[in-house]
Structure 1
Amino acid sequence: AAEVAAAAAAVAASAKRKEEAAEGAAAKAARREARRAAAAAEAEAEASRQVAQCAAAAAAEEERERALRAAAEEEECVRPLLMAAEAKQNLAAALMVYEDDDD
């Protein structure tokens, strides 16, 4: 009877060790999965940051292009006015010379 009890105790101890080992392996696997999930989340966050940077750069480039187009359009509108003002000044100068010649 004592031998049976000792054998039963040994089997119980072995089962307990196997259960503890299984729990340890499960905990290790859970930690590994948590690290993998954290790394994946960090990679996704980095990708999101890069997308945001690209979007901001594209928006800035678009704004620069819009400003350049606006400046070119403004120059197109102003150039004829400047040329007309210059022609008016030249005409006024020519009239002054002509009036001086009359004296």
Structure 2
Amino acid sequence: MWKWWLTAVGLNLVLGVPAVVATWLLWYFLANGPLLEYGGEMRNPTENDGTGVLLVLLAPVVGFALLWWIANRPVRRRIPVGRPLYWPVSLLVTLVPTLGLVISSGS
């Protein structure tokens, strides 16, 4: 049982490295799009390309999410105990490299 959980943790830590880019792109889209209206960051005055560019930024995020799901499905099927916890734990482990970079940057 534990070998599959260790496999899941290792897989999601490896997937967490490219997730840094996908997470940044998602944050960039949200900060310059939907969250801007709710008192978020101010828009850069030279960034006047419209929302088409922001939507292009979401393509790698969707691609990574699809890759993450496809990679995790076979491992989840083999875990005998704790299946309801698999997806939340996998998501949190995938975000560990991003959180590590955010914490180490000091901001």
Check whether TM > 0.5: no
Task: Pick the structure with greater CA Rg.
Answer: 1
Task: State the TM-score, normalizing by the size of structure 2.
Answer: 0.27
Higher relative contact order (CA 8 A, sep 6+): 2
